[in-house]
Amino acid sequence: MVDSCCAPGCANHRGQVQDRAFYRIPKDPARRERWISAIKRARSAMKKTERWNPSHNGFRLCSDHFSDNPLSPDYVPSVFKHVPSPVKKKGELLIEQFNRRQAAKKRRLQQDFTEAATQAAMGSYISAENDSHNTGPSCENENCKTIIYSLKLEVQALRAENQLLKESLSKTELNESALRSSFGRQRL
């Protein structure tokens, strides 16, 4: 007999995937009760929904429905596609929110970079114009002041861009590590 998963909506069976394990529903009454309530499978009889009570040895769950350590004594299945888990939804929302923030930061950085590049291009255009009319190395004339000013703007824009990129990188690493530590034990 081929072992197949008894979770509603799951069609996994032994032999499909090499690393997938199948676990029997425990015989211990307390653990068995937790497993059955987590599976949330019902049997319909006479238009009433009865609680499902599987036999001790015939039903198994595949490893896709577990997210904790299988050696733990209170190991209970918790990952089901048919059941909208609040934790799973919260994790999905956090990831979606994180991705939206990253996209907004990326757009902001690109906009800042475009503005800085425009200012730098305007400054280099002014400096190229002024270089052709430069009369000497003196910084007292207007051309030299314009060149210095445009170079200072370019340096300032590059520093701002560098700082934004550093902050973005540190926040990205922090958010990913926080998400992994918060939801690393659960499948999202």
Domain limits, the chain = 1-82, 86-183
DSSP 32: H
Residue 49 has pLDDT above 70, yes or no: no
**What is the dihedral sign for C-alpha 106, 88, 77, 4?**
negative
Determine which of 15-19, 86-90, 122-126, 165-169 has the lowest per-residue pLDDT on average.
Answer: 122-126
Percent of the chain scoring above 90 in pLDDT? 0
How far is the C-alpha of 155 from the C-alpha of 147, rounded, in Å? 12
> Residue 92 contacts by C-beta under 8 Å, 6 or more apart in sequence?
188
pLDDT for 9-32, tens place per residue?
788 888 787 778 888 887 888 888
Percent of the chain scoring above 70 in pLDDT? 59
Tokens 């907004």 label which residue? Answer: 104
pLDDT on residue 85: 59
The mean pLDDT of 78-103, rounded to a whole number, is 70
Predicted TM-score (pTM) of this structure: 0.36
Cβ density class 105-138: b for 16+ within 10 Å, e for less: beeeeeeebeebeeebeebeeebeebeeeeeeee
Among candidates 188, 185, 168, 174, which has minimal Cα distance to 94?
Answer: 188
pLDDT for 128-187, tens place per residue?
455 544 444 456 777 777 888 888 888 888 888 888 888 877 776 656 666 666 665 555
> Residue 127 contacts by C-beta under 8 Å, 6 or more apart in sequence?
146, 147, 150, 151
The mean pLDDT of 58-66, rounded to a whole number, is 76
Q: Is 161 within 8 Å of 116 (Cβ atoms)?
A: yes
Pairing mode of beta strands 42-45, 48-51: antiparallel
